[in-house]
Amino acid sequence: MKKTTAEIIDELSIANIKIFHLVDKVQKNEHTREDAKKIQDLNKYRSELVNELNQYFKERENIKI
């Protein structure tokens, strides 16, 4: 089943919040290797979500996957 625009925006918001909290841990030097890996994975997922939105609105895709 294809996601609705609202679902994509919701997932994008959640991914951004998770990235924010993990970056905060990195800046405080309280992170683990797993945290760094999570940031990489979330950034990839965020790019995929942004590309889905850009496709929907017929805008240029952001190819950072």
Q: Is the confidence at residue 1, as pLDDT, over 90? A: no
Q: Is the pLDDT of residue 65 over 70?
A: no
Predicted local distance difference test score (pLDDT) of residue 58: 87
Position 26 scores a pLDDT of 95
Tens-digit pLDDT profile for residues 6-64: 999 999 999 999 999 999 999 999 999 999 999 999 999 999 999 999 998 988 876 66
Q: What are phi and psi of 33, to 5 degrees?
A: -65, -35
Dihedral of alpha carbons 4, 5, 9, 15, sign:
positive
Q: What pLDDT shows up at residue 59?
A: 85
Integer distance in angstroms from the first to the last C-alpha of the chain?
A: 22
